[in-house]
Structures are given as structure tokens and as C-alpha cells.
């Protein structure tokens, strides 16, 4: 089942490969069909998933490369479940999106998006570290093509910068994975996560391996100060690429941190938590401040995304199951909201041909439907109660407040105000105020099909905002299991004399 979900998009890509590039309608149809089937299967998975059971479900384990101890091991728990759903939900919408830039070379484009979908799903489902790494690196190649072919003016620079930056740290993770294989101290060497999470590492070894993993994940998220590829990649990528980067690939980093960072190296994670929290918090503040200063709409949202993701990372590093549940929910929320925001900017860019903040003004009068939808997205981004952003941020902040890291919660909550300031300011500039000269000529309100495409996103924002229970009841047990396993490992380590760790960390409510 999980194999099907993972590889149907890749099969679709393969099929598109043999279609002549002149037959655009057929290509579009096949791509859409593949992604919709995947979505349908993952919806089925969501309901077939047993929320009362915290561990991995629907596991599939086959031998893959027994010669070097690698198995093909997939499984889904509450955390990966919601992220899969997010992925398969967004991809069909992106394939339907009528952006002009993508009219040419539609064939290559569809292939790349579908391959990327397979890679992202694979990352969320893999339980074998090498399998995970294969999908993890495989995400880079389609993204390189998406940025490099359909991107803006500086696209080649942005594409290669993105590639080298993320790869430089993921190869360190590769070395760490191999080190783990030989140093796990288990009876038989393995790359399997479900065995490795019970291992015992020496403190030094654990520290360095954790650092290598965190480096790889932190670049992908990205966490300050490893974010410098982000503004270039986000603003140069075509809208589809930006959405895939911000909504899905950043989640891969966060997911990796949670799934592998915390469970494999809990002691190092706790030891380093204050530093990582500080970095994430700096990212929250820095992202918000820089976003407020941007004149370019796309760059502004890029930095806003950095700021929001920092908060999600804080929720993960705090080792509290409440905050982490909030983080997982907020991953989904952020994915939905950031996709909507970049989408809205793409619509503005399409109409006006520009994306500078000063190029807009008074668009409300000509685009009332668009303005209303944009308001929903914007309010979700600033976490207004009733939207999904609120539920996630509230859980994170509450969770952190109950740990010893209250200070971070206080600062994080204050920064939320800053977010409101620049978001509202941006909305005001674009939709209200004096009319920009172009408004009369260029603005067209949303076409019905555009509304139809954005409607599912709005529905999701409101649904999660009002009734998050179906998601939370699936996420929460898995997170609790994960955290409690990590904590029992920490306690075991404390019984050994050579480690001195703070027992107060990660008190769960």
C-alpha cells in the first residue's frame, strides 16, 4: 500500500516520458491522474489508519540490498500520515495551476513535479536510514531542474547554490549514517531505524553524529544561520517550485529532525537543546524583521516562512510532547498557508507583471474576491483564532511554556505581533490605499476556476482551525510514543555513570 502511494507518481512520470511532447492535454491528464490517485490512496490511508495505535502501521519490509545490510522498510505513523496527506493534497493543485511560465516544456515539468512527489513521500515513509537518504537526495535533482529551467533571471545561480548548500551537509549525514551502522553496538549491524532507536552510543559519538544529522536537516528547514540559500532559491524558483520548497521540502527537514534526530540521539538532543532553541529563536526574530523590511513580495513571504519554520523547530527541540504535537500540526498548517500565500503572489504577478510592494495599491476595488481570499490566508499566517495557524502556534507555545524553556515561549509569542504588523501592512499596501496606476488596466478578479483551485485550501485552513481533532488524535499518540522512547533512552544513559545530564529537561504535561 505504502509502496503504491510512494511510486504511483514516479510511474506517472515514466508514462509521461514516453508520450510525445506535442500532446499537452494527455500529459496534463496523466500527471493529474497519477497525483489524484495518490491523493485518493492517502485519504484512504488517513481513514484506515488506527488512531489508537501509536506505533508504525502498514509497515512493509523487504530485503533490498542484503549484501550491505540495507532493507526496504516503509511505515506510517501519525506524524508521517498527516505530512503525506499534505503532500498528496498540494501536488494535484499545483499541477492544475494555470501559470503561464509552465506552458512551455510541460512534459519535463510534469515529470519533475511527479518525481519530486515520489521523493518527498519516500522521505516521510522510509524507516531504513539508507532508503531515507536515497529519497532525501533524490529530492534535490527534480528541484534543481524546476529552479534551473523555469526560474527567474538568476535561476542558474540560485539552483546550484541550493544544490551545493543542501548537499554539502547531507553528505555529512551520509557519513554519520554509516558510522551509526558500525557503532550502534547492536548484536547485528543495521540501517533500520526501528532497531537503531534502541542502541547505545558513547556520548562523544552521539554528539558528533547528532550534529551531522542536524546540519543536514537544519539546512533543509532552514534554521538560521544556514538559511542563506533560501531567499535566492525561493524568489528565483517558479511558483510551483517555491511552493514545493517551502511547503514540502522544509517539512522533510523538520520531519527528519523529529524522526531521526530526536529518537536516535536523544541525549545529544537534550544536551544541545538550549543552543538549537536559541538558533531557532534567532531565526524567528530575524525572519520576521527581514520580512518586514522587504520590498519584494516573494522575498517577504520567503522570510516570513523562515520565521514561522523557526517556531516549528522550537516546538521540536523542546522535547515536550505537547509542543511537538503542535509542531507537527503546524507543519501541515504552514504547508497549506505558505502555499496559499505564494499562490496569491503568483496571481498578483501574473496580473501586474511585477512583485514589488510599491507596484501595488488599491487592488481591493478591482479584485474583491481575491482580496477576501487573501485576507483568509493572511489571517491564518498571523495565527488568528479560528484559522489553522492559531491551533498549531498555540499548542507549540503552550507546550514550551510548560517546560523549562518558558523564556522562548514568551519571546516567540511577542514575535507573533511583529508578524501581524508586516503582514497587515503588506495587505494594506496591496489592497487598500491609493490606487497604483496599473490597477485600472491590469487587475482582473479571480476566474471561477481559480477560485475552485483555491477553495480546497481555504476549506482546509478553516477546517483545521475549527475542528483539528481528526488530525490531532492521529498525531498525538505517535508523538507521545516518540518522546517517551527518547526519554527512556535518556534515563538509561543517566544510569550509566559517565554521563551527566539534566533530568529536568522535557517535562511533559
Partner 1 sequence: MTSLDLIVLLPELMLVGTALFVLLLDLFLHAEQRQWLLWVSLLGVVAAGVANGLIPTQGAPLMQEMIRFDEISKVLNFVFLLGCGLALVLSADYLVRQGIARGEYYALVLLSTLGAMFMGSSVDLLMVFLGLETLSIPLYILATFLRRNTSSQEAGLKYFLLGAFSSALFLYGIALVYGATGTTQLSAMAQEKTSLLLYAGVGLLLVGLAFKAAAVPFHTWAPDVYEGSPTSATAFMAVAAKAGAFAALLRVFALALPPTLADSWTLLVGVLAVLTMVLGNVVAVVQLNLKRLLAYSSIAHAGYLLIAVASAQSATLMEPATSSLLFYLLIYTLMTLGAFGVLLVAEGKGENLSMTDLGGLAIRHPWVAAAMAIFMISLAGLPPTAGFFAKFYVFRSAIQAGELGLALIGVLTSVVSVYYYLRVVYYMYMRPAAVERPVHISTLALAGIALAAVGVLVLGIYPPLVLGWIQQTLSVLP
Residues in touch with partner 1 (CB under 8 A): 21, 64-68, 108, 130, 133-135, 137-138, 140-141, 144-145, 148-149, 155-156, 159-160, 163-164, 167-168, 171-172, 174-175, 178-179, 181-182
- According to DSSP, the residues that pair with 385 across neighbouring strands are 387
Residue 149 Cβ vs partner 1, minimum distance, rounded to whole Å: 6
Smaller CB distance to partner 1: residue 137 or 445? 137
Q: By three-state DSSP, how is residue 75 classified?
A: strand
Smaller CB distance to partner 1: residue 62 or 500? 62
Whose cell is 528541484? That residue is 143
Smaller CB distance to partner 1: residue 166 or 321? 166
Q: What is the phi/psi pair of residue 4, to 5°? A: -60, -50
Residue 475 Cβ vs partner 1, minimum distance, rounded to whole Å: 29
Closest CA to 106 of 186, 26, 162: 26
Residue 23 Cβ vs partner 1, minimum distance, rounded to whole Å: 14
Any idea what DSSP says for residue 369? H
How many angstroms from the chain centroid is the CA of residue 89?
13
Give rounded-to-5 percent helix, strand, coil for the chain.
Answer: 75, 5, 20
Residue 469 Cβ vs partner 1, minimum distance, rounded to whole Å: 39
Residue 171 Cβ vs partner 1, minimum distance, rounded to whole Å: 4
Smaller CB distance to partner 1: residue 171 or 384? 171
Q: Supply 124's cell numbers.
A: 516521510
Q: CA 121, CA 226: separation in Å to the nearest integer?
A: 24
Residue 118 Cβ vs partner 1, minimum distance, rounded to whole Å: 10
Smaller CB distance to partner 1: residue 43 or 164? 164
Smaller CB distance to partner 1: residue 94 or 131? 131
Smaller CB distance to partner 1: residue 164 or 411? 164
Closest CA to 305 of 341, 278, 277: 341
Smaller CB distance to partner 1: residue 145 or 317? 145
Q: Supply 237's cell numbers.
A: 524558483
Residue 141 Cβ vs partner 1, minimum distance, rounded to whole Å: 6
Residue 65 Cβ vs partner 1, minimum distance, rounded to whole Å: 5
Exposure string of 188-220, with b = 16+ CB inside 10 Å and e = fewer, is eebbbbbbbbebebebebbebbbbbbbbbbbbb
Smaller CB distance to partner 1: residue 35 or 169? 169
**CB < 8 Å & 24+ apart, contacts of 25-28:** 27/106, 27/107, 27/110, 28/95, 28/106, 28/110
Q: CA 105, CA 483: separation in Å to the nearest integer?
A: 46
Any idea what DSSP says for residue 387? B
Burial of 145 (0-12, 13-18, 19+ CB in 10 A): buried
Residue 174 Cβ vs partner 1, minimum distance, rounded to whole Å: 6
Amino acid at each position: 500500500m505504502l509502496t503504491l502511494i510512494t511510486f504511483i507518481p514516479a510511474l506517472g512520470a515514466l508514462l509521461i516520458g514516453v508520450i510525445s511532447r506535442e500532446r499537452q492535454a494527455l500529459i496534463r491528464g496523466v500527471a493529474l491522474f497519477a497525483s489524484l490517485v495518490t491523493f485518493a490512496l492517502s485519504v484512504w490511508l488517513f481513514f484506515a489508519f488506527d488512531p489508537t495505535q501509536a506505533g508504525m502501521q502498514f509497515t512493509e519490509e523487504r530485503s533490498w540490498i542484503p549484501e550491505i545490510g540495507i532493507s526496504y522498510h516503509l511505515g506510517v505513523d501519525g506524524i508521517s500520515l498527516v505530512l503525506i496527506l499534505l503532500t498528496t493534497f498540494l501536488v494535484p493543485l499545483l499541477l492544475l495551476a494555470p501559470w503561464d511560465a509552465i506552458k512551455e516544456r510541460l512534459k519535463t515539468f510534469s515529470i519533475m513535479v511527479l518525481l519530486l512527489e515520489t521523493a518527498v513521500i519516500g522521505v516521510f515513509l522510509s524507516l531504513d536510514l539508507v532508503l531515507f537518504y536515497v529519497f532525501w537526495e533524490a529530492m534535490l535533482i527534480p528541484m534543481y531542474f524546476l529552479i534551473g529551467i523555469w526560474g527567474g533571471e538568476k535561476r542558474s545561480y540560485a539552483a546550484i547554490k541550493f544544490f551545493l548548500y543542501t548537499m554539502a551537509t547531507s553528505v555529512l549525514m551520509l557519513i554519520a549514517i554509516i558510522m551509526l551502522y558500525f557503532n550502534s553496538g547492536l548484536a547485528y549491524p543495521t540501517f533500520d531505524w526501528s532497531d537503531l532507536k534502541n542502541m547505545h552510543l558513547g556520548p562523544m559519538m552521539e554528539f558528533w553524529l547528532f550534529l551531522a544529522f542536524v546540519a543536514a536537516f537544519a539546512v533543509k528547514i532552514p534554521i538560521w544561520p544556514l538559511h542563506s540559500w533560501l531567499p535566492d532559491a525561493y524568489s528565483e524558483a517558479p511558483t510551483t517550485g517555491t511552493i514545493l520548497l517551502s511547503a514540502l521540502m522544509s517539512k522533510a527537514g523538520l520531519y527528519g529532525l523529529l524522526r531521526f534526530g530526536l529518537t536516535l540521539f536523544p541525549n545529544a538532543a537534550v544536551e544541545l537543546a538550549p543552543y538549537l532553541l536559541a538558533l531557532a529563536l534567532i531565526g524567528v526574530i530575524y525572519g520576521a524583521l527581514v520580512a518586514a523590511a522587504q520590498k519584494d513580495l516573494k522575498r517577504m513571504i520567503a522570510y516570513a516562512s523562515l520565521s514561522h519554520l523557526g517556531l516549528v523547530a522550537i516546538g521540536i527541540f523542546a522535547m515536550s510532547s505537547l509542543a511537538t504535537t503542535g509542531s507537527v500540526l503546524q507543519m501541515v498548517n504552514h504547508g497549506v498557508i505558505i502555499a496559499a500565500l505564494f499562490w496569491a503572489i503568483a496571481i498578483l504577478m501574473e496580473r501586474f507583471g511585477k512583485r514589488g510592494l510599491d507596484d501595488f495599491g488599491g487592488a481591493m476595488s478591482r479584485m474583491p474576491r481575491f482580496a477576501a481570499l487573501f485576507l483568509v490566508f493572511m489571517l491564518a499566517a498571523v495565527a488568528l483564532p479560528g484559522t489553522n495557524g492559531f491551533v498549531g502556534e498555540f499548542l507549540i507555545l503552550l507546550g514550551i511554556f510548560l517546560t523549562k524553556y518558558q523564556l522562548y515561549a514568551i519571546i516567540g509569542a511577542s514575535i507573533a505581533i511583529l508578524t501581524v504588523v508586516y503582514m497587515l501592512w503588506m495587505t494594506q499596501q496591496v489592497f487598500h490605499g491609493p490606487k497604483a496606476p496599473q490597477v485600472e488596466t491590469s487587475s482582473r478578479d479571480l476566474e471561477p476556476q481559480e477560485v475552485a483551485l483555491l477553495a480546497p485550501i481555504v476549506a482546509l485552513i478553516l477546517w483545521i482551525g475549527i475542528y483539528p481533532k481528526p488530525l490531532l488524535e492521529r498525531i498525538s499518540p505517535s508523538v507521545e510514543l516518540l518522546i517517551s522512547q527518547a526519554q527512556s533512552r535518556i534515563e538509561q544513559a543517566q544510569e550509566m555513570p559517565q554521563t551527566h545530564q539534566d533530568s529536568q529537561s522535557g517535562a511533559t504535561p
